[in-house]
Each structure stands twice: as structure tokens, then as C-alpha cells.
Amino acid sequence: MGLKTTRNLICVNTVKNITSFPKIPTKRLVDTCHGDTFNLITSGHEPVYVHKKDFGEVPKYLTRRNEEMMRAQDEYDHYVAECFRKGDLRQLTVEEHKAIVDGLKTNWEDIQEQYNSLPVVTDTLGKKYRRERMEGVMKQLEIDIDMLEKHRVAYIGK
């Protein structure tokens, strides 16, 4: 009479119920003692943000923050211009910038070569400190190289 299947429907149903998301109930409002329910969102009892007076405007704290950032940038620009006028700062030329980056890269390669020639086993404190010192120097050189490659304009003091 009935169809026979090889599927374990109990396991299939269990997995389906475990992995399914629960239904989110709709927000409703019960208005009378008889249990008449209304949709809360369309009833007007819940405020809708779109209907606020300041909807779509930039918040005041963001405008203040932007003004502070612009004021700080202006102060920094005036400071740099004043230092240029005094002669305390000068901008690196492209050739100097490239020479510094190339020098840092060659220093990193030299230290990397020395680091690779260290023994794998660091059984003494001297070997351990030497390895840590080289790792620190290489890390600082990497940071300096990244900073100089990221910022094409660099100022140096006299």
C-alpha cells in the first residue's frame, strides 16, 4: 500500500530543524481587551526614523570632527611653510629619495644574508640575542622602507 524508502526521514527532519533559522515574529500591537491585534509598524506607535526632522543631515559631531581635522591640517601646513621660509626644512629630491630607499634595501639584504647564515639551533644566550637583534633591525628597516615608499614627499631638517 505505502511507498517504502531507504531514507531515514527522522534524521533528515532533525538536521533540517537544527540548521534552519527560527521565524521572526512580526511586531504587533494588542489594542483592546478582546485581543484585536494590529501591525505595530504601520500603526504609528513606533517612531520611524525617516520621518525625523534631521534625517539625512550630517551629524554635528562629524562636522566638528572634520573642522578640527581641517584646522589641524592648516596648522601643520603653516608650520611646514614657516620652517621652509626659515630654512630649517628642505624637501628630498627624487634622486635622494631613491638613493635612501635603495640604501635601506641593501642594508636589509646584508642583514638578511647574515641572518640566514646563523645556525638553526640557538642553544646559547649569545646566539639567541644576536638572532633577536637581527630580527629587530630587519623589522625596523622594513618599516622604514614601507614608510618611504608609501610617502613620496619627505622633509629633512638641517
Per-residue model confidence (pLDDT) at position 158: 73
* Average pLDDT, integer, range 1-24: 88
Q: Which residues are 72's β-sheet partners?
A: none
* Average pLDDT, integer, range 103-121: 94
Q: Model confidence at 1, in pLDDT bands (50, 70, 90)?
A: low
Element (H, E) at 118: none
**8-state DSSP, 51:** G
**Three-class SS state of 23:** coil
Dig out the grid coordinates for 88 from the structure: 630649517
Q: Are 134 and 114 in contact (CB under 8 A)?
A: yes
pLDDT digits (tens, 9 = 90+) for 121-154: 888 999 999 999 999 999 999 999 999 999 888 8
* Average pLDDT, integer, range 35-61: 84
Per-residue model confidence (pLDDT) at position 29: 87
Per-residue model confidence (pLDDT) at position 67: 98
**8-state DSSP, 46:** S
* Average pLDDT, integer, range 105-132: 92
Dig out the grid coordinates for 37 from the structure: 491585534
pLDDT digits (tens, 9 = 90+) for 33-44: 888 888 888 887
Q: Model confidence at 47, in pLDDT bands (50, 70, 90)?
A: confident
Q: How far apart are the first and last CA of the chain?
A: 99
Q: Are 103 and 111 in contact (CB under 8 A)?
A: no
Nearest to 41 by CA among 33, 15, 50: 50
Per-residue model confidence (pLDDT) at position 156: 83
What are the DSSP calls for 79-92, one per residue? HHHHHHHHTSEEEP
Query: Which residues fall within 8 angstroms of residue 78, CB to CB, at 6 or more apart?
Result: none
Q: Which residues are 28's β-sheet partners?
A: 39
Q: Model confidence at 49, in pLDDT bands (50, 70, 90)?
A: confident
Dig out the grid coordinates for 54 from the structure: 534631521
Q: Are 95 and 154 in contact (CB under 8 A)?
A: no
pLDDT digits (tens, 9 = 90+) for 64-106: 999 999 999 999 999 888 888 888 888 889 999 999 999 999 9
